[in-house]
Amino acid sequence: MPKQRESLISAYHNYLVNNMLSPGFYVGIPYSATDFYFLADMMLPGEVEPPISARLYDSSGSFLVELKRNSITKNPRHCVFETTPQGFRIVFPPNEVLLDVNTQRFANGYLTRINAKLRDSNGELRIEPSYEGIQVYGEACLTLSAPFIVRKGNKAGPTVRSSLR
């Protein structure tokens, strides 16, 4: 029997992840204070930039940068936030693009494409480019049905396992 995949599609904004449209998703543990995570939150009507939050590590597991709603909050490795005509990117000096977020406006809404090869604190690959979007691995929630809210003691939604490498 073919494997079924569920995708909630927003009429306003979607991300391209695992070859599906998704109004929002996360990889890793966004409610943790120290673990890897990447959160592409829902963009609500009236907003024009998708809210991205993340805690990023290099291939050896060293912490690089933390981003909360498109703003760098912790930056021990001096990464650079650069705006682009359709979004932003995070660059690790001298010139390695860690994350590139590109949002395209259409007549009825927005589509965000993310280009990144991200690893967790163990150096394990968690996100990589795939066609025009990304492929995620490991612990993830691939479809948010409401904006992500972290409450003390609340994991903020269902967690599913994505295809593992």
- Report the distance separating Cα 15 and Cα 22, nearest Å: 5
Is residue 6 situated within a structural domain? no
Percent of the chain with pLDDT over 90: 79
Tell whether 21 is covered by a domain: yes
Q: Which residue has the tokens 């972290």?
A: 150
Please compute the mean of the pLDDT values over residues 126-131 and round it to a whole number.
96
For the chain, how far is it from start to end, CA to CA, in angstroms? 22
Residue 4 forms part of a structural domain: no
pTM over 0.85: yes
Contact 118, 131 (CB under 8 A): no
- Predicted pLDDT of residue 7: 60
pLDDT at 53: 97
**What's the chain's average pLDDT?**
88
**Residue 106 CB neighbour total at 10 angstroms:** 8
pLDDT-derived band at 124, boundaries 50, 70, 90: very high
Please give the tally of structural domains in the chain. Answer: 1
60 lies in some domain: yes
Looking at the domain assignment, is residue 109 inside a domain?
yes
In a domain, 58, yes or no: yes
Q: Is 150 domain-assigned?
A: yes
